[in-house]
A = this chain, B = another copy of it.
Amino acid sequence: MTQARGYAAHDAQSALVPFQFERREPGPHDVRIDILYCGICHSDLHQARNHWSNSLYPMVPGHEIVGRVAAVGAHVKKFKVGDLAGVGCMVDSCRHCAACDADLEQYCAEGATWTYNSTERDSAQLTFGGYSDHIVVEERFVVSVPENLDLKAVAPLLCAGITTYSPLRHVNVQSGQKVGVIGLGGLGHMGVKFAKAMGAHVVMITTSPEKGKDAKRLGADEILVSRDPVAMAQHAGSFDFLLDTIPVGHDVNPYLGLLKLDGKMGLVGALTPLEPIVGGNLIFGRKSLFGSGIGGMVETQEMLDFCGKHNIVSDVEVIDMRNVNQAYERMEKNDVRYRFVIDMATL
């Protein structure tokens, strides 16, 4: 075992504090990464504070991890010491179910092993995330990071990036299609960038007109203020696909009205109950609502390669490790454009 340093939550109420713990030595298939940056996902806050009633403490959050490979096991093929590498939401899965066989480890029938707030498959040992100096992960769950990107702004791609990239690919977004991105936050701002890079006509759909200017800077072709009934009526029945990044329960019915025949809406943010859906809003126009969670490891690599090719990164605000609790407070007020990233050199 190796001594590791990080920040941890010890219960739902208290602030995160410095924490010392142990990581395993790299096994034959493991990669040890010295962490350079770790993004702060909204789910870090939810889990640190036990909002989902499933928190395991002590908890070292963080699943948007980038760094340099510091050591590799004897059988590791994809990485060598010094490579840039990333780790996202998962560090293991059963590897033999239909989902794992289909490279969709996030839907592992036995449950994926999450990067934190989870236990190792072979023990009751808690997993500890990226708010730490290093991490040891089996190579299947480590991705290569293109060298041409701004590294600090790459970190959020490991969760916010793949969460929005995967459903856009799942519905096969094509050049010339009209795609709406609902909600402009950590997820939504990535959705705009990806949909634009895939060639779509991108409409940022938001409750806040003041977000419009920023959305255009990110690549949106149009802004649609969802509180404006006239504008909503003008766009009725015109969208091929809607990416819904709203992180809490909400009313999807007005958005379903924006879809054209056979239009699809992908839900990626809201895990909790939605307002009642009117059946006729799906039936008239054969519309569909589906859910999508992060992405498998092969697709996560594909997403990073896409980002390298199209020079896509997140918009980030870099903070020192000791300011993580203030960052959480600001996130609760939506006061971040669009993702906090911890500079791990400040640990």
Interfacial chain B residues near A104, Cβ < 8 Å: 261, 286
A320 vs chain B, min Cβ distance (A): 33
A287 within 8 A of B: yes
A55 vs chain B, min Cβ distance (A): 16
A288 within 8 A of B: yes
**Are A282 and B267 in contact, with the CB atoms below 8 A?**
yes
Number of interface residues of A (CB under 8 A): 39
Segment from A145-153, A172-180, A270-278 that makes contact with B: A270-278
Per-position binary interface string of chain A over residues 279-291, scored 1 when its CB falls under 8 Å from any chain B CB and 0 otherwise? 1111111111111
A92 vs chain B, min Cβ distance (A): 17
A293 within 8 A of B: yes
Chain A residues engaging chain B, CB cutoff 8 angstroms: 98-99, 102, 104, 107, 109, 170, 237, 249, 260-261, 264, 267-293
Closest chain B residue to A170 by CB distance? B286
**Are A283 and B292 CB-contacts (below 8 A) given A99-B261, A261-B107?**
yes
**Are A267 and B286 in contact, with the CB atoms below 8 A?**
no
Identical copies of this chain, number: 2
**Are A288 and B290 in contact, with the CB atoms below 8 A?**
yes
**Are A282 and B287 in contact, with the CB atoms below 8 A?**
no
Interfacial chain B residues near A270, Cβ < 8 Å: 279
**Are A282 and B291 CB-contacts (below 8 A) given A98-B261, A104-B261?**
yes
A292 vs chain B, min Cβ distance (A): 5
Interfacial chain B residues near A249, Cβ < 8 Å: 276, 279
A281 vs chain B, min Cβ distance (A): 7
CA A41 to CA B284, docked complex, whole Å: 18
Interfacial chain B residues near A281, Cβ < 8 Å: 291
**Are B271 and A280 in contact, with the CB atoms below 8 A?**
yes
Cβ 8 A contact of A288, one of B98, B109, B284, B288: B288
28 contacts across the A-B interface (CB closer than 8 A):
A98-B261, A104-B286, A107-B284, A107-B286, A109-B237, A109-B261, A267-B279, A271-B278, A271-B283, A272-B279, A273-B277, A273-B278, A275-B276, A277-B277, A277-B289, A280-B291, A282-B289, A282-B290, A282-B291, A283-B292, A284-B293, A285-B291, A286-B290, A286-B291, A286-B293, A287-B290, A288-B288, A288-B291
**Are A286 and B282 in contact, with the CB atoms below 8 A?**
no
**Are A277 and B279 in contact, with the CB atoms below 8 A?**
no
